[in-house]
Structure 1
Amino acid sequence: MSRVVVIGGGIAGLATAALLARDGHRVELVEKNAALGGRAGSWERDGFRFDTGPSWYLMPEVFDHFFRLLGTSAAAELDLTLLDPGYRVFVEDGGAPLDIAADLERNVAIFEGVEEGAGERLRTYLASARSTYDLAKERFLYSTFQSMTTLLRADVLRHAGRLVSLLLRPLDSFVARSFSHPTLRQVLGYPAVFLGSSPDRAPSMYHLMSHLDLADGVLYPQGGFTTIIAAIERLARAEGVTIRTDTTVTQIRTEPVTGRRRGRRPRAVVRGVVVRGADGWGQTIDADVVVSAADLHHTETVLLPEALQTYPQRWWDRRDPGPGAVLVELGVEGALPELAHHSLFFATDWQGNFDAIFGDAPHVPDPASIYVCKPSQTDPGVAPAGSENLFVLVPVPADPAIGRGGTDGSGDPDVEKVADAAIAQVAAWAAVPDLAERVVVRRTVGPGDFVVDVNAWSGGALGPAHTLRQSAFLRGRNASARVDGLLYAGSSTIPGIGLPMCLISAELVVKRLRSDTTTTALAEPL
């Protein structure tokens, strides 16, 4: 039984704490903010309640597996609703919106209606996506990559040629082999954005994501995504986890390893953390293991001395932080039937959008390809009767200099300019000309807020992009090579970005401490 300190109370930190406590460890979690959730937070005013981060419930089997590890289930902990349509697509040229349905057969018909022959090609495409997804779950997502020999399995070797091709070919060209219509290409390329990347930069391995929304459908937890955080917090406390909010870790304490070092032997061993409470007083918390579910860049470059950094600044200088974002939370009077629960607005200059965000001369794209969530479509509790709740995400470069947001237009000028443009864009493309006049609650969040709120590297909204150099075993590992007993969880490390990936990252911490080098998920319950 080890004494464990978990840094960070987002979904990865809470999930890690819950699993480790169930596995017999004595766990204390510290969170710098007053509320838990990290990026998956919440904000309320005048009867409107906004999820401030993740809003797509995909990979339901990952959530259910996590809850079953703790002796329960997603069905017992959450009230899930299947969205139909899963989402609606608006295009810049004024064409009719395209609804993506909740099941495969209708989507085959929808694709066929847009482009002759595209329906059956979609069926073939999604069959490939499904087989790739199944292989990823079996051999890659639940692997710590401590031993690469675990990947030398018959099923991996049998598909080696195809896997190499999928890794080396970008997603956009893979999609273009089967589909000609620009909107269909955009629908199939958009999952790269969930991964903090772009269709021309993400490996086509990630076409597996299309299986999740076009075949399995999109779910929504009634009460919003903070109900997921609340459920995991409740389970963590039931397992005996001590949780401290308003507690900032200022240093990871270590002790030098004595004796001669050989090879990659750690230079130090973890001894705990130094924290500062809301009252300004500092103290130390002793620990045998420290798990940082905070931003990995912050953990490595701020909480450790340079000599003990596995990923020093020079490593980050060669990496891609993924996109930043301007978030716009709007309380709107009256109904908005023009919008679905999820709506995507795709600009005609698709490639130019991504070049603006990720290219050599980064700037805010105009017009941007944006995402709009209207949870009041499904959940009456997030807005007063007769009103709508809108959450708008505008991808921008990961640049804190764009600024911070605020309420009622009080944010930094560049952030509010992006918000104004997004509101005007939704009004024009969705034919809601009086949208701006109907806004009664407004709050913005900019890249600078991601730095302040969650210590995000370069103000990134999601985490390091899933490019070839930042995927699978090429991504930041989940254990320090310099400090024995220091582990990592969350979107910065393996397996990657998104709530399901963060849940898996928590499980990978358990596997590390168990010296479990298998590639499959742990047996249920833990």
Structure 2
Amino acid sequence: MTAPRGRAVVIGAGVAGLASAALLAREGYQVDLLEQRDEVGGRAGSWSRDGFRFDTGPSWYLMPEVFDHFFSLLGTSSAEQLQLELLDPGYRVFFEGRSEPVDLRAERADNVALFESLQAGAGAALETYLDSARRTYEVALRRFLYTTFAHPGYALSADVLTQLHRLVPQLATSLQSFVAGRFTDPRIRQILGYPAVFLGASPDRAPALYHLMSALDLDDGVLYPQGGFAGLVDVLVELAHREGVRVHTSSTVTEILTEDAGKRGRRARARGVRYLDADGSDREIDADVVVAAADLHHTETRLLPRRLQTYPQSWWDRRTSGPGAVLVMLGVRGELPELEHHTLFFTRDWRANFDAIFGGRVPEPASIYVCRPSATDAAVAPADHENLFMLVPIPADPEIGHGGHDGAGSPAVEAIADAAIEQVAQWAGIGDLADRVVVRRTMGPGDFVADLNAWHGGMLGPAHTLRQSAMFRAGNVSRRVAGLYYAGSSTIPGIGLPMCLISAELLVKRLRRDTSAGPLRAPL
């Protein structure tokens, strides 16, 4: 049994907070996890009504080896905890102005044949592209994703040095240019460029290093956990409880408590948190370690005094937010075979679409993502009905407004939702889609602020531009307050469920003063 280490408080019960709390407890800490909402999950939330259950956040299960490793740290496995199903097709893409969609499959060979059918020579080019993506991804796993960047050794290993001739140009080139130099068909360019959106960026703003994302969907395939991502959150909660974590919902942290070091030049030290409980009573918890798994901008600028902020407002003023979003959850009567589990709708003018989003304008038309989990999971909708989740990337601007039930959200949010429903209906040939809707709820950037304290109302976090990736992203430890650490999408290694799990492991490495580049040995 691990020796007692002291007491830890984790702020925020999203995926990173739940994972951090479980690993800390495994390390021997007494852990209290505080969540301001009355439910856990953070961005990986869930909403139910009239027999429909919607995931309100992540819906792509990629990088399964990261999940496998995380579960192994807690003495279990993905196979024990989740029922995973491989999607084939992995996803479908509709293109503006083209009547036939394109299906991306679970096997590389099928995607190679598809690309060749779209552009002569593109099959062989995809083989080369995916080989490059695989090499880059494997280097990232070994040397970049599981490091705290506390020691320069992460970049001095032989496997990094031998790849420098490939990695340096990938950092100096945009993903858009990297793809355009290898493929001419606009459909292929969009398929290979769109993963930048998963990183909170756009193809012309994300470095080409992120072409590694294509190894995940076109080579490895896309999985789905039965029960949805709410089921994954339930598993994390169960594991945290098993490790002895005390979870407090409806508990809003108002201040990170610190004490002066008493010596000139020494940092202050975290000693706990102040919070409001479900009754509105002011309470405190003492702790040796405080982990902020909430939005980093909120943590730094609202929970700490200016003199103790590692990342003050002036730092954020020089950073780029990822996009905002309007989320549309629809319960639909009847079947929708025109849509796959994952379906993407790409506008013809790609550059104008992203320039609008990052320039503060709602794109018209917009590129839209639609998830139809009822294609795979019968539990998410009543019989003879479908569950649709639509995501419309828009500027990260809370002034666009809030969502609501049955069209009662802010006018701008509801107008965006109406346009998205109409666009999907037209492009996919579902003329009566709007008439078949029996349940509707929307969410807008204002909700991301109100529910998650999200910086600028962004749906993901700081964009993965070059200067906000890897060692250039916000670190996971305070430079002003000893004993204060960070986890989640705002910090290293970045955006996405796998990254949030890794961020929890990086917390443990910080506490152990482990500066190695690779993952920890399992189990803890």
Q: Same fold judged by TM-score > 0.5?
A: yes
CA distance in 2, matches of 1:412, 1:353: 23
Kept after mapping to 1: 8 A contact 2:144/2:154: no
CA distance in 2, matches of 1:260, 1:443: 55
Which residue number in structure 1 is paired with residue 332 of structure 2? 332
- Note the C-alpha offset of 1:161: 2.9
Unaligned residue ranges in structure 1 (runs of 5+): none
Pairing partner for 1:88 from 80, 89, 92: 92
Which residue number in structure 1 is paired with residue 291 of structure 2? 291
| 1:453-508: CA deviation from partner (whole Å, max 9, x where unpaired) | 11000000011100001000100000000000000000000000000000000000
CA distance in 2, matches of 1:366, 1:29: 42
| 1:240-288: CA deviation from partner (whole Å, max 9, x where unpaired) | 1111000000000000121121xxx52x100000010121101110000
Which residue number in structure 1 is paired with residue 514 of structure 2? 516
Which residue number in structure 2 is paired with residue 139 of structure 1? 143
CA distance in 2, matches of 1:308, 1:164: 35
Secondary structure of the residue aligned to 1:394 is strand
Secondary structure of the residue aligned to 2:273 is strand
Kept after mapping to 1: 8 A contact 2:251/2:277: yes
CA distance in 2, matches of 1:26, 1:278: 22
| Structure 1 segment 199-218 matched on structure 2, within 5 A | 199-218=203-222
Secondary structure of the residue aligned to 2:89 is coil
Pairing partner for 2:52 from 48, 72, 77: 48
Letter in 2 for 1:277: D
CA distance in 1, matches of 2:27, 2:257: 24
CA distance in 1, matches of 2:36, 2:235: 20
| Structure 1 segment 313-392 matched on structure 2, within 5 A | 313-359=313-359, 362-392=360-390
CA distance in 2, matches of 1:99, 1:498: 24
CA distance in 2, matches of 1:2, 1:228: 28
Kept after mapping to 1: 8 A contact 2:309/2:480: yes
Unaligned residue ranges in structure 2 (runs of 5+): none
| 1:389-413: CA deviation from partner (whole Å, max 9, x where unpaired) | 0000000000000000000000000
Pairing partner for 1:485 from 483, 486, 490: 483
Secondary structure of the residue aligned to 1:458 is helix
The alignment yields a C-alpha RMSD, in angstroms, of 0.7
- Note the C-alpha offset of 1:94: 2.6
| Structure 1 segment 110-189 matched on structure 2, within 5 A | 110-189=114-193
CA distance in 1, matches of 2:14, 2:63: 19
User: What TM-score, normalized to structure 2?
Assistant: 0.99
Kept after mapping to 1: 8 A contact 2:327/2:389: yes
- Note the C-alpha offset of 1:156: 1.2
Letter in 1 for 2:367: S
CA distance in 2, matches of 1:479, 1:152: 23
Pairing partner for 1:57 from 56, 61, 74: 61
Letter in 2 for 1:294: A
CA distance in 1, matches of 2:399, 2:447: 11
Letter in 2 for 1:100: L
Which residue number in structure 2 is paired with residue 309 of structure 1? 309
CA distance in 2, matches of 1:409, 1:151: 52
| Structure 1 segment 367-446 matched on structure 2, within 5 A | 367-446=365-444
Secondary structure of the residue aligned to 2:187 is helix
CA distance in 2, matches of 1:80, 1:417: 36
Q: Verify: 1:222 aligned to 2:226, yes or no.
A: yes
CA distance in 2, matches of 1:161, 1:169: 13
Which residue number in structure 1 is paired with residue 70 of structure 2? 66
Which residue number in structure 2 is paired with residue 101 of structure 1? 105
| 1:119-150: CA deviation from partner (whole Å, max 9, x where unpaired) | 11001000000000000000000000111233
Q: Which moved more, 1:509-518 or 1:141-150?
A: 141-150
Secondary structure of the residue aligned to 1:225 is helix
| 1:282-303: CA deviation from partner (whole Å, max 9, x where unpaired) | 1110000000000000000000
- Note the C-alpha offset of 1:163: 1.3
Kept after mapping to 1: 8 A contact 2:195/2:214: yes
CA distance in 2, matches of 1:491, 1:319: 14
Letter in 2 for 1:434: D
CA distance in 2, matches of 1:517, 1:185: 38
CA distance in 2, matches of 1:129, 1:12: 26
Secondary structure of the residue aligned to 1:516 is coil
Pairing partner for 2:240 from 230, 236, 246: 236
Letter in 2 for 1:340: E
CA distance in 1, matches of 2:79, 2:474: 33
- Note the C-alpha offset of 1:95: 3.0
Q: Verify: 1:300 aligned to 2:288, yes or no.
A: no
Letter in 1 for 2:324: G
| 1:322-361: CA deviation from partner (whole Å, max 9, x where unpaired) | 10000000000000000000000000010100000113xx
- Note the C-alpha offset of 1:177: 1.0
Letter in 1 for 2:338: E
Letter in 2 for 1:374: R
CA distance in 2, matches of 1:504, 1:257: 31
Letter in 2 for 1:246: S
Letter in 2 for 1:436: A
Which residue number in structure 1 is paired with residue 505 of structure 2? 507
Letter in 1 for 2:309: Q
CA distance in 2, matches of 1:76, 1:229: 15
Letter in 2 for 1:164: V
Which residue number in structure 2 is paired with residue 196 of structure 1? 200
CA distance in 2, matches of 1:303, 1:472: 25
Which residue number in structure 1 is paired with residue 272 of structure 2? 272
Letter in 2 for 1:417: A
Secondary structure of the residue aligned to 2:228 is coil
Q: Verify: 1:251 aligned to 2:249, yes or no.
A: no
Letter in 1 for 2:400: I
CA distance in 1, matches of 2:423, 2:95: 11
- Identical aligned residues as a percent: 66
| 1:173-211: CA deviation from partner (whole Å, max 9, x where unpaired) | 000111100010000000000000000000000000000
Q: Which moved more, 1:345-354 or 1:152-161?
A: 152-161
| 1:3-41: CA deviation from partner (whole Å, max 9, x where unpaired) | 100000000000000011011111110000000000101
- Runs of 4+ in structure 1 over 2 Å off: none
Secondary structure of the residue aligned to 2:32 is strand
Q: Which moved more, 1:140-149 or 1:325-334?
A: 140-149
CA distance in 1, matches of 2:118, 2:293: 44
| 1:76-98: CA deviation from partner (whole Å, max 9, x where unpaired) | 00010000100000011033100
Letter in 2 for 1:278: A
Kept after mapping to 1: 8 A contact 2:99/2:427: no
Letter in 2 for 1:353: N
Letter in 2 for 1:254: T
Secondary structure of the residue aligned to 1:385 is coil
Which residue number in structure 1 is paired with residue 31 of structure 2? 27
Which residue number in structure 1 is paired with residue 282 of structure 2? 282
